Structure 1
Amino acid sequence: MTTLEFSYSLDKASGSLKPFALRLTKDVDDAKDLLQDTILKAFSNKEKFAEGTNLKAWLYTIMRNTFITNYQRAARRGTFVDTTENHFYLNSGKETIENGAFGSFALRDIRIAIDRLDDSHKVPFEMFFRGFKYHEIAEELQIPIGTVKNRIHIARKQLKESLEVYMHKN
């Protein structure tokens, strides 16, 4: 495979990698960085790619391994070794004590916002929140699965709007 063909194949496959990166990182910027690292590693190791092998699977493996490596590196950076006799491993970080009042207000406001939802949206949302799968909710409420997904989406959107005050907590 020529460099141009390999580059074209990478570009084509990168579209399916974006959602996987977002699922791993849970952050759009981190997902973009992970995707960029994956493409860079794939391109710099293209001679290791065996033609006839599934390129997407190869890229997913690179991405997963890169994510794990980065995660472990970040965890090690936040850990130090205590050199006393007991040799404890401790996570370093800021020592803070938070006032629980903010959490109490937030929980109360979340409950109020959920209670304000229309029952047709509240019931599927609460079931999903408790761990029910979409198909289980659809069976229980005897409505189509698409309707369940739509109602949960609308409930989330309404909650996000009514709880906007908590979006920018520092």
Structure 2
Amino acid sequence: MSTLEFTNLISSHRSFLHQLAMKLTKDIDDAKDLIQETFFKAIKNKDKYEEGTNIKGWLYTIMKNTFINQYRKKKFQNTFIDETDNKFFISQSPRDKEVYSDKNLDMEYLMKRIEDIDRVYLETFMMYYNGYKYEEIAEIMNIPLGTVKSRIFLARKKMMERLKDYR
């Protein structure tokens, strides 16, 4: 099968791919990008397609795997995507935010009060605070999931005890 014939064959399934891409991304621009990437990969790997097999299934697999790979990349990039109307958070300037003159003093006070918490509990809690999931923390620290949960619980409890006069 020539490249032109193959391109025409996969192009005939554009509406199917569009529906699938919209289900996966829920955004028209992301869906268009996903379709384009799927076509690119399909044409690039034309020699791997066996003529007479289910082309829809083959294209579906390419799109699904492409979407999953892109999702994983975004997940590990810790990218903030502002989906608010008019991009409120991105366009918000620093002068729109309240400024507290004693913010540094508050942070200094808080750090002094919690720095004597056992480092193991504090490290686990800070990883959780910074957005890591329990499973990720367990994998990174090479400890059981139950240990992660108990360390975070104990760190919270100890912080509450040390900061009860602050509230």
TM-score w.r.t. the length of structure 2 is: 0.48
- Of the two, which has the highest radius of gyration? 2
Higher relative contact order by CA 8 Å / sep ≥ 6: 1 or 2? 2
TM-score w.r.t. the length of structure 1 is: 0.48
